[in-house]
């Protein structure tokens, strides 16, 4: 397997994992951390946005690597 095929496979696997996490977060999972004053801060929307952007970036890269652009 050449590097391009290997990289394409890895990116597709990463994309599947990202889609799984987005679905988990959208269905009620909560990402929290403790602030300096000890309160739990919900970061669900920030996490979703980061995963959405990464998904878009990976889709573009997969498209380019597969020769569709």
Residue 8 structure tokens: 């394409």
pLDDT greater than 70 at residue 28: yes
Cα angle: 33, vertex 58, 50; to 5 degrees? 20
Q: What is the pLDDT of residue 40?
A: 84
Average pLDDT over residues 6-28: 85
pLDDT greater than 70 at residue 69: no
For 32-57, what is each residue's pLDDT tens digit?
778 889 888 888 888 888 889 989 98
Binned at pLDDT 50, 70 and 90, residue 27 comes out as: confident
């Amino acid at each position: 397997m050449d590097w391009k095929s290997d990289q394409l496979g890895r990116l597709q696997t990463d994309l599947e994992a990202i889609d799984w996490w987005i679905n988990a977060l959208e269905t009620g999972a909560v990402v929290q951390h403790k602030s300096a004053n000890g309160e739990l801060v919900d970061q669900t929307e920030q996490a979703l946005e980061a995963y959405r952007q990464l998904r878009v970036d990976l889709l573009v890269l997969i498209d380019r690597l597969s020769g569709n652009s």
